[in-house]
Amino acid sequence: MERLQKVLAQAGVASRRSSEELIKQGRVKVNGAIVTELGTKVDPASDIILVDNKSIAQEKHVYLLVNKPTGVITSMHDPQGRKTVRDLVKSINERVYPVGRLDYDTSGLLLMTNDGDLANRLAHPSYEIDKVYRAWVKGIPSKASVNLLATGIELEDGMTSPGEAEILFIDKAHNRAQIQLTIHEGRNRQVRRMCEAIGHPVVTLERIRVGFLTLDEVRSGGFRHLKPQEVKHLKKVLK
């Protein structure tokens, strides 16, 4: 027997947290009865589970590494008709969804999966998974400003956790610099807000690494399946 929200997540319906919302909203039925209580135990092998009156399918787990371009929404649907990450993985039959998000104007590494357990752990700051970004910023930050990025900056939603920061390249001719930041959180527009806080707004921003995973050999707008050994290592890191 498994908790209902875990079964939904494992079936690729939604993340564990989103599955809990589906249950609270009365959109889930088990053996014909609406279930709204979180923690309800079910047997996925024998119970008939419906979401919005559609049967869930126990899909095989899929793990994708996507190189998101700018101008793409990190969502499976956009009411405004803009391009979404779903458009980047149209050839995948399983119902995968993004782990975390990248802003419309941010490019780079995005993981997509239908493994709800793994997605939850990847997104949770307690596991302190490195997220590495490269940004071109206006102006040339001082050593003290770069140190602030690494040690923590007070934003409107609280102090950022310690990470790493360094200047990679200084372009005096265009009064700009390229910096690399490593953070472990996933707040909304966090890197951009951190750079604005030190007086050096972001011009371009790319996420180049998550944990040990990089964008090697994945073109902009493309994706690849994680290798079995990568999935195994990821699960080991997130135990």
Residues identified as active-site: 103
**Cα–Cα distances in angstroms (integers) from residue 186 to residues 101, 123, 227, in the given order:** 8, 7, 25
The rounded distance, in Å, linking the Cα atoms of 61 and 59 is 6
The rounded distance, in Å, linking the Cα atoms of 165 and 150 is 5
Question: Locate tokens 């997220």: which residue?
Answer: 131
The rounded distance, in Å, linking the Cα atoms of 193 and 223 is 28
Which residues partner with 166 through β-bridges?
A: 180
The kind and range of the H/E element at 147 are helix 143-151
DSSP for 43-107, written as a single string: -TTTS-EEETTEE---PPP-EEEEEEPTT-BSSS--TT---BHHHHTTT--S--EESS---TTEE
**Quick one: residue 31, left, alpha or beta (phi over 0 = left, psi -120 to 50 = alpha)?**
left
What letter represents residue 229's amino acid?
Answer: Q
CB 120 within 8 A of CB 97: no
